[in-house]
Amino acid sequence: MGEILKAFIAAGALLSLAPPAAAREPRGAKLVVGQRGEPRSFNPVVEIDEPTRIVNSLLHSTLARTDPVSRRLEPALAESWKKSGDGRRILVRLKPGLRFSDGRPLTAADVAFSFEVFQDEKIAAPQREVLVLNGKSVSVRMLDDRSVALDLAFPTALGERMLEAIPILPRHRLEEPFRQGRLRQVWGNNASPSEVAGAGPFQIGRIEPGRRLALMRNPNYWRRGKDGRALPYLDEIEFVFAPSEDSLVARLLGGEIDLVAGLGSGSFASLKKAGNAQHLSPLDLGPSLDYTFLLFNLNRSSPAAGQLKRRLEWFSDARFRRALSLTVDREAIVRLVYRGHATALWGHVTPARGPWFDPSLPRPAPSLTKARRLLRDAGYGWDGGGNLVDRSGAPVEFTIAASSSNPAYTQTAAILQEDFKKLGIGARTVSLEFRSLLDRVTVKKDYDLAVMALRPGEPDPAADMNVLLSSGKAHLWNLGGPPHDWEIEVDDLMRRQLTATDGRKRVELFHKVQQILASQAPIVSLASPNVLIAGPRGLAGVVAIAGGHPALSNADSLYWVRNDAGASDRSER
Amino acid sequence: MNRRGKLALGVLSAIHAAAGFAGFLAPYEPSTQHREHALAAPTRIVLRGLTVTAVLPAPGGTSEFPVRWLRRTEDGWHLFTVDEPGKIFLLGTDSLGRDQWSRLLHGARISLFSGVLAALLAGLIGTVLGLLAGYYSGWCDRVVTQVGDIFLALPWLYLLLGARAALPLDASPLVVLSGLLAVMGIAGWPRPARLVRGMALSLRERHYVMAARGFGAGHTYILTRHILPPVWPAVAEFVCLAIPQFVMAEVTLSFLGLGLSEPAASWGTMLAAFARLDAMTGAPWLAAPAAALALVSLCYRGLLSSGTRRGGGEPERG
Amino acid sequence: MRFLLTRALRGAGLVAAVAVLGFLMMEAAPGDFLTDLRSSPGIPTATVEQMQRDSSLDRPVWSRLVSWIRSLLSGDLGVSLIWHRPVADLVWPRACNTALLSLTGLSGAWLVGVPLAALSAARSGSWVSRAASLLVSALVALPDLLVALLVLLTAVSTRWIPVSGSLAGAGFALALIALPAVYRHTYSSMRMAMGEPFVESARAHGLPPVRVWTGHILPAAAGPLISLLGLSFSSLLSASLLVEVVLGWPGLGPLLLEAVAARDQHVVLAGVVLSAGLLAAASLLIDLLLVLCDPRIRRDGL
């Protein structure tokens, strides 16, 4: 238990970016957030990109939410819910007097409508995967004005996840477009602010395409603060869109923007150095959910010939892969590529995923002797010049492809190249434009090794299904080909954890998956870039939650604190 | 050639020679990562008596290492080195601890060579097509000009992306860069073509050409004996102007994130690493390739203006 | 008149050819807009397929080409795949920004370059002329990218100009890039005009120098200057792209780059067609101006 608690604390610190003893008079005010991408739409049904997700999370509410502080699933729009004995039915009771931002009441009919929309096949919303498990959908029935019954096809611990994932949409606005089959087209980013209605803490104020987006507080928001006042405290959140990270940093320093999240380590370093920026507080919030890894081409479906065939034979030996993993200097990657603002990884699950992270996985330091021993066992040797050669005497050489879109990837590949040289391997880094690389890896399957990164949307293992299932679309190392034996085992474990009802059992199963991946090493996990934000001093209530926006997950409880000059004590972790 | 031209030629030769002897002049390999010395400032060099010494920061002050001349290491002869654990970074290091001086020299090979290749290609194709257009005139001229306009307006970024993707993954960076700059060179023919066309058009009307025709001279003879000779200097001038431009093209492409060369040391990738806010403020020594590039550009210009131009009548930039 | 008509037709043909070729070249690049969504673990396959249908990426190449050409002819530039907005709405404000930047840069270059060149031409050999030509030589030797980076460096270290997103910084950089060409052309055309016989005769008639300049030299130099406008336009376009990217000016440059990286077909093609169209229109305008300004051309033909 202590482990889990520690993991929770490590996952996201409670930050108060203001002196704890300063006058805590929550006053309404404006927060200006800078980001690179702007939302494509205000329609949760077509939410495929991060900026859209962030804005929609401020405009809409769900039945339940994970409280950022206690990290437990707590009622949001729902007042309470009850699972039936056999675990196949969830009865949800709504809070009384709920309203949308346009003043119309939110009832069970809206809940039923929302679930119907998100499960609809033609709509093909990304959230459909949460509701339709193993091909079976959820049936939702209105019991009365304030109650709904969710009937699942089979009992699963993921039932409650549905309560958190589905935003409740206003039936009075969206039913007509839905029946007419044009729901995907409404509420685009050219919508007029009064068109969009939601139950979230904010509503759309002003849209300036390409420049800014102003969200005003929703007076009909259901939540109240601990002091009984209606949330949100902030009157307005304004998003300012900038073309590049450098321009975001420039505007931060100039005072035009208050907060930027998701900074790169370079920008973060220059912000920290700008020590005279009294109004800014750059913070490293620890590991994110992202993981950067080295991918091996283990595809058995592509017809390989000649040189590629021989290289694929090398990669197909798990000992070869583990030997390479033992040579990688992860500390150098963290220190040089990310300037220390990353966390070394030996598995794809980062510590930010709380209990899902298996702390018992071995984390060996780089060891050339162990690596050499593994290679010798696998039948490799070294020739006179110190080059690694395989059984047939051919020197071991391959390319490491990396995307040029982010210098971190090419730099990581350069470090790997030098590390592998110590084993006598002639590795060469090749940098490709992002989409060209993806095309090579996922369509042509014509590559040796590649440095890639993935970002799970949430800590729950369900976010890894597409990657770990051998039939998954993101099962990069063996896309669509006949699975190896251990991949079949992983498939089985992942499916079982999806249908398990006991949370502890799910954790156990997922830990087992990680152990198999560690010993088979289809990917060599390298590092997880930390969550880096720069926020204003004087903003209180910021709590980071894994998977959401690092600073806006708790947007409804953010407030400005009067910061007396001289009071420089800050509590930050 | 006047003094300025001689100076420019001298400097250019020196730079190209340095690139040629990069292995000798550089104390380290361009890809070697000195991981304990990432983003190190240029090493201070002092004179202790008659010995040149490198002064490095050490815990509790500094430590000094005498510079060794003409040493032989496992990767060949080097003009100057420093005994380990000392380091000599004349131009500092980058974020992965790679010596910038070594990278500058080795990168010069890639950048300069590919610039020459692309400029020559463009000049060659442009000359041929320009001659055809200007000399034969008529529909030939119309076709060449129209196609040239189209070439100028097309989005070459896409063709480059496609070309890069078509090349085998394990092609060396030099091959890749050459391939891409070959594409750019081939795409660059319209400018010299226009120039040559104009000249061919006016030369064709000269009296001696008409006279030669009158005597029954064939087209080839006229082209080679009368048209080509005056055209060559103009084309040579174009090529001289174009070389730094194509070198810049490589730099620009790397800078724009099309990532055609990393992590090979080319001036383009080095400059791209510099052109970020944190590098500009924190590691100004990374700007060395910019200075080198400016120097090369200046020299090519100096070479040109030492020629016969009356000054002011230069062809357009870009 | 007929001459202008043929030029207009040629311009239209150019734009058409560029449109079709540009479309085909886009297809040649590997991957498309949905490539990363297809392998993204968070987006279900069904969603990607639906998006494919929405953006008609599931139809064969020729079918998409035909429908794009048809919509182009009716004035519809399509919808951006990244930003999910009509391309026209996206491109128009950016194009205006680029135009604003180009105008600022050009005016800056002309405001400084023309008087400087005139002065140098009038007093050739003086220190003014020598200093000016030195400055210009240095500037012309520096590639566009380096000039932009230098301006950025100045902005970062001295804070005299805002680092990113301001017209002052970007305009200054572009003016520096355009200055050498303006200076040189003005200088040489002034010198040429100064040597013309009618200038000599004007001087011999005893006209004051100012009258000689304004009445005879400047108008004669105007012709080549106008053609300079046209020539520098295309190189200014590529220079402005670099300046916009380096100095964070929200013009067409950064938009197109991002669209290229993400394979946002309609935006890229709109940009390509737009710039080809602008080039064609500009050269037509230049020819028109030349015909109007120089009576000799009207008489002898171009």
User: Model confidence over A465-512: pLDDT tens digits?
Assistant: 999 999 999 999 999 889 999 999 999 999 999 888 888 999 999 999
A-chain CB neighbours of C31 within 8 Å are 435-436, 438-439, 443
Q: What is the mean pLDDT of chain C?
A: 80
Secondary structure (3-state) at A306 = helix
Is the Cβ of A331 closer than 8 Å to some Cβ of chain B?
A: no
Which residue of B75, B167, B262, B271 is the best one to mutate when testing the A interface, meaning the one whose CB has the most A CBs within 10 A?
A: B262
For residue B35, give the nearest of A336, A403, A417 by CB distance.
A336
Helix H or strand E encompassing A508: helix A503-520
Is the Cβ of B165 closer than 8 Å to some Cβ of chain C?
A: yes
Helix H or strand E encompassing A164: helix A159-165
Q: What is the mean pLDDT of chain B?
A: 80
Pairwise pLDDT comparison (A544 vs A536), residue with the higher score:
A536
Tokens of C268: 């890229």
Lowest mean pLDDT among A103-107, C100-104, C238-242, C278-282: C278-282
Domain extents in chain B: 43-88, 101-304
Of B99, B250, C42, the residue nearest A53 (C-alpha)? C42
Cα distance between residue B283 and residue B71, in whole Å = 30
Confidence of residue A221 (pLDDT cuts 50, 70, 90): very high
- Mean local confidence (pLDDT), A428-450: 88
Q: Which pLDDT belongs to residue B238?
A: 82
Confidence of residue B314 (pLDDT cuts 50, 70, 90): very low
Q: Which pLDDT belongs to residue A261?
A: 92
Q: Which residue of C has its CA nearest to B149?
A: C14
Reply yes or no on whether the pLDDT at B203 is more than 50: yes
Reply yes or no on whether the pLDDT at A374 is more than 60: yes
Give the per-residue SS3 of A7-73: HHHHHCCECECCCCCCCCCCECCEEEEEECCCCCECCHHHCCCHHHHHHHHHHCCECEEECCCCCCE
Q: Is B250 exposed, middle or buried (0-12, 13-18, 19+ CB in 10 A)?
A: buried
Q: Is A266 exposed, middle or buried (0-12, 13-18, 19+ CB in 10 A)?
A: buried
Is the Cβ of B167 closer than 8 Å to some Cβ of chain A?
A: no
Q: Which pLDDT belongs to residue A570?
A: 31
Q: Which pLDDT belongs to residue A19?
A: 36
Residue type, C171: G
Tokens of B87: 């380091």
Q: Which pLDDT belongs to residue B308?
A: 39
Reply yes or no on whether the pLDDT at A228 is more than 60: yes
Reply yes or no on whether the pLDDT at B311 is more than 60: no
Reply yes or no on whether the pLDDT at B162 is more than 80: no
For residue B153, give the nearest of C18, C239, C261 by CB distance.
C18
Q: Which residue of C has its CA nearest to A46?
A: C47
User: Model confidence over A139-153: pLDDT tens digits?
Assistant: 999 999 999 999 998
Give phi and psi for A28, each to the nearest 5.
Answer: -65, 145
Q: What is the mean pLDDT of chain A?
A: 87
A82-119 burial, b at 16+ Cβ within 10 Å, e below that, comes to: ebeeeeebbebbbbeebbbbbeeebbbebbbbbbbbbb
Cβ-defined contact of A430 to B170 (cutoff 8 Å): yes
Q: Which residue of B has its CA nearest to A434?
A: B258
Reply yes or no on whether the pLDDT at B309 is more than 70: no
Look-up: residue for tokens 């290679």?
Answer: A375
Q: Which pLDDT belongs to residue B1?
A: 62
Cα distance between residue B12 and residue B295, in whole Å = 9
- Per DSSP, helices labelled H in A101-153 are 108-119, 128-131
For residue A243, give the nearest of C39, C83, C254 by CB distance.
C254
Question: In C, residues 49-108, which contact B (CB 8 Å cutoff)?
Answer: none
Q: Which residue of B has its CA nearest to A416?
A: B33
- Per DSSP, helices labelled H in B132-255 are 138-153, 156-166, 173-187, 190-204, 207-214, 219-222, 228-253
For residue C141, give the nearest of B162, B271, B301 by CB distance.
B301
Pairwise pLDDT comparison (B171 vs C166), residue with the higher score:
C166
Tokens of B313: 């009548």
Lowest mean pLDDT among A5-9, B65-69, B201-205, C22-26: A5-9
Cβ atoms A542, A519 nearer than 8 A: no
Reply yes or no on whether the pLDDT at A452 is more than 90: yes
Helix B288-305 vs helix B3-20: angle between axes, to the nearest 10 degrees? 140
Give phi and psi for A173, each to the nearest 5.
Answer: -105, -30
Q: Which pLDDT belongs to residue B159?
A: 62
Cα distance between residue A459 and residue A463, in whole Å = 7
Reply yes or no on whether the pLDDT at A17 is more than 70: no
Cβ atoms B154, B184 nearer than 8 A: no
Domain extents in chain C: 87-300
Confidence of residue A317 (pLDDT cuts 50, 70, 90): very high
Q: Which pLDDT belongs to residue A511?
A: 96
Please report the DSSP string for A310-328 in residue order.
Answer: HHHHHHT-HHHHHHHHHH-
Which residue of A184, A185, A273, A438 is the best one to mutate when testing the C interface, meaning the one whose CB has the most C CBs within 10 A?
A: A438
Residue A31: beta bridge partners? A237
Cβ atoms B297, C143 nearer than 8 A: yes
Of A554, A534, A463, the residue nearest A71 (C-alpha)? A554
C-chain CB neighbours of B311 within 8 Å are 133, 188
Cβ-defined contact of A405 to C261 (cutoff 8 Å): yes
- Mean local confidence (pLDDT), B153-181: 66
Cα distance between residue A159 and residue B208, in whole Å = 94
Cβ atoms B32, A414 nearer than 8 A: no
Q: Which pLDDT belongs to residue A5?
A: 39
Rounded to 5°, angle at Cα C49 from C45 and C53:
170
Is the Cβ of B277 closer than 8 Å to some Cβ of chain C?
A: yes
Q: Which range scores top for mean pLDDT: B266-280, C43-57, C121-135?
A: C43-57
Q: Which pLDDT belongs to residue B306?
A: 64
Cα distance between residue C269 and residue C259, in whole Å = 10
- Mean local confidence (pLDDT), C213-231: 67
- Residues contacting B62, CB < 8 A, separation 6+: B55, B56
- Mean local confidence (pLDDT), C50-59: 85
Cβ atoms A188, A41 nearer than 8 A: yes
In chain A, CATH 3.10.105.10 sits at 291-529
Query: What architecture does CATH give domain A2-43+51-59+189-287+531-560?
Result: 3-Layer(aba) Sandwich (3.40)
Give phi and psi for A313, each to the nearest 5.
Answer: -65, -40
Q: Which pLDDT belongs to residue A468?
A: 95
pLDDT above 70 coverage of chain C, percent: 88
C-chain CB neighbours of B277 within 8 Å are 156, 163
Cβ-defined contact of B301 to C137 (cutoff 8 Å): yes
- Mean local confidence (pLDDT), A71-82: 91
Strands of the A147-151 sheet, one edge to the other: A78-83, A89-94, A147-151, A139-144
Lowest mean pLDDT among A265-279, A484-498, B25-39, C107-121: A265-279
ipTM over 0.90: no
Cα distance between residue C229 and residue C224, in whole Å = 9
Lowest mean pLDDT among A96-110, A252-266, B184-198: B184-198
Lowest mean pLDDT among A182-191, B67-76, B153-162: B153-162
Cβ-defined contact of A184 to C39 (cutoff 8 Å): no
**Neighbour subunits, C (≥3 Cβ pairs < 8 A):** A, B
B-chain CB neighbours of A447 within 8 Å are 169
Cα distance between residue C302 and residue C300, in whole Å = 7
Cβ-defined contact of B97 to A336 (cutoff 8 Å): yes
Q: Which pLDDT belongs to residue B157?
A: 61
Confidence of residue A289 (pLDDT cuts 50, 70, 90): very high
Cβ-defined contact of A243 to C261 (cutoff 8 Å): no
Reply yes or no on whether the pLDDT at A546 is more than 90: no
Q: Which one-letter DSSP state was computed for residue A136?
A: B
**What is the distance, to the nearest Å, from the Cα of residue A283 to the centroid of all Cα atoms in its chain?**
19
Cβ-defined contact of B259 to A430 (cutoff 8 Å): no
**Neighbour subunits, A (≥3 Cβ pairs < 8 A):** B, C
Cβ atoms C235, C140 nearer than 8 A: no
Cα distance between residue A448 and residue A310, in whole Å = 11
- Other CB atoms within a 10 A radius of the CB of residue A542 amount to 27
pLDDT above 90 coverage of chain B, percent: 13
Residue B78: beta bridge partners? B71
Q: Which pLDDT belongs to residue A288?
A: 92
Q: Which range scores top for mean pLDDT: A22-26, A68-72, C95-99?
A: C95-99
pLDDT above 70 coverage of chain B, percent: 85
Fold classification of A291-529 is Dipeptide-binding Protein; domain 3 (3.10.105)
Pairwise pLDDT comparison (B314 vs B154), residue with the higher score:
B154
C-chain CB neighbours of A439 within 8 Å are 30-31, 35
C-chain CB neighbours of A128 within 8 Å are 44, 46-47
- Mean local confidence (pLDDT), C194-204: 79
Residue C169 vs residues A521, B256, C162, C164, C248: alpha-carbon distances, Å: 51, 20, 7, 8, 9
Q: Which pLDDT belongs to residue A27?
A: 46
Q: Which pLDDT belongs to residue B312?
A: 36
C-chain CB neighbours of A436 within 8 Å are 29-31
Cα distance between residue A524 and residue A521, in whole Å = 6
Pairwise pLDDT comparison (A503 vs A198), residue with the higher score:
A198
Reply yes or no on whether the pLDDT at B37 is more than 80: yes
Fold classification of A64-178 is Dipeptide-binding Protein; domain 1 (3.90.76)
Q: Which one-letter DSSP state was computed for residue B154?
A: S
Confidence of residue A368 (pLDDT cuts 50, 70, 90): very high
Question: In B, residues 56-95, which contact A (CB 8 Å cutoff)?
Answer: 95
Dihedral angle, C-alpha A40, A42, A47, A50, nearest 10 ° = 60
Please tell me the CATH code under which domain C87-300 is placed.
1.10.3720.10
Q: Is C66 exposed, middle or buried (0-12, 13-18, 19+ CB in 10 A)?
A: exposed
Cβ-defined contact of B255 to C145 (cutoff 8 Å): yes
Reply yes or no on whether the pLDDT at C88 is more than 60: yes
Q: Which pLDDT belongs to residue A342?
A: 96
Q: Which pLDDT belongs to residue A422?
A: 92
User: Model confidence over B46-72: pLDDT tens digits?
Assistant: 888 878 888 888 888 888 888 888 888
Please report the DSSP string for chain C in residue order.
Answer: -HHHHHHHHHHHHHHHHHHHHHHHHHHHSS--TTHHHHT-TTS-HHHHHHHHHHTTTTS-HHHHHHHHHHHHHTT---B-TTT-SBHHHHHHHHHHHHHHHHHHHHHHHHHHHHHHHHHHHHTTTSHHHHHHHHHHHHHHHS-HHHHHHHHHHHHHHH-SS-SSS-HHHHHHHHHHHHHHHHHHHHHHHHHHHHTSHHHHHHHHTT--HHHIIIIIIHHHHHHHHHHHHHHHHHHHHHHHHHHHHHHT--SHHHHHHHHHHHT-HHHHHHHHHHHHHHHHHHHHHHHHHHHHH-HHHHHH--
CATH 1.10.3720.10 applies to domain B101-304: yes
For residue B153, give the nearest of C10, C232, C279 by CB distance.
C279
Cα distance between residue A69 and residue A226, in whole Å = 13
Q: Which one-letter DSSP state was computed for residue A356?
A: G
